[in-house]
Homo-oligomer: A and B are copies of this chain.
Amino acid sequence: MKRILIVEDEPEIREMIRFTLEPRGYVVNEADNAQDARRLLGEHAYDLILMDWMLPGRSGLEFTKEIKQKNQKSSPPIIMLTARADESDKVEGLDSGADDYITKPFSPRELAARIKAVIRRSTHIEQELSLEFNGLHIDPVQHLVTLQGDPANLSPAEYNLLYFFMSHPERAYTRSQILDKVWGDNAYVEERTVDVHIRRLRKILTPSGHDAYIQTVRGVGYRFTPTKQKHVQVTS
């Protein structure tokens, strides 16, 4: 879920933008002046700001500079909305630190596409490490799990669960904790669901004997403990 702030004085344009973005799953907040925008920025962390070039009182340009200078790297990306086709204006707009601009009028599709691109680029991709325990290997770059070298076919949930376990071994977690960590804080599912996925993961790991790594901790939850035991040799 991404949160977007529109800073734009014309209600019609705000309306149009909201109408475009909300069906696509964005949470949209609106401000028609810099002051309100500043307040909203204090209340939430935004993933993107859509800033009108012209704002009453203070120009969006100035406000963009202010935001970018104040928060340095941590500030959300900004897309400028400009009605002007004037070249130098645009250049100046970009100079202020905006990450992209859109010239009015724009199509909903273009807006959505640009927003997506800007957010994606601004999202920090953290380097995930490839992990391995005795022939059980998980590689986030390939997004691939192999058992003694053989690729295994995991569903997204199974993959995430296994990656969580392998990156947090030797430690018991409650179902609640697992749901928070693997499903995310705001996933509302039954705790029993974890059992089902554990079950499937174990099934997948059984042929290579790695299912023993996923241990039930009665009264608590589960624990991933890679033992140093020898495994079933799969002859080819």
Interface residues of A (CB under 8 A from B): 10, 12-13, 15-16, 19, 83, 87-88, 90-95, 98-101, 104-110, 113-114, 116-117, 120-121, 141-144, 155-156, 170-172, 176, 180, 185-186, 188-189, 217-220, 223, 225
Question: Which residue of B12, B19, B94, B176 is within 8 Å of A107 (Cβ)?
Answer: B94
> For the complex, what is the distance from the CA of A95 to the CA of B105, rounded to whole Å?
11
**Given A91-B104, A94-B108, A105-B101, do A171 and B156 touch, yes or no (CB 8 Å)?**
no
CB distance from A169 to the nearest CB of B (A): 9
The 3 closest A-B pairs by CB, nearest first: A113-B188, A90-B105, A156-B219
> For the complex, what is the distance from the CA of A176 to the CA of B113, rounded to whole Å?
10
> For the complex, what is the distance from the CA of A180 to the CA of B116, rounded to whole Å?
12
Do residues B171 and A142 form an inter-chain contact, with CB atoms below 8 A? yes
**Given A101-B105, A109-B121, A141-B172, do A91 and B13 touch, yes or no (CB 8 Å)?**
yes
Question: Which residue of B87, B99, B110, B116 is within 8 Å of A109 (Cβ)?
Answer: B99
**Given A176-B120, A218-B155, do A91 and B105 touch, yes or no (CB 8 Å)?**
yes
Do residues A188 and B91 form an inter-chain contact, with CB atoms below 8 A? no
- Return chain B residues, CB-CB under 8 Å to A219: 155-156
- Return chain B residues, CB-CB under 8 Å to A144: 172, 223, 225
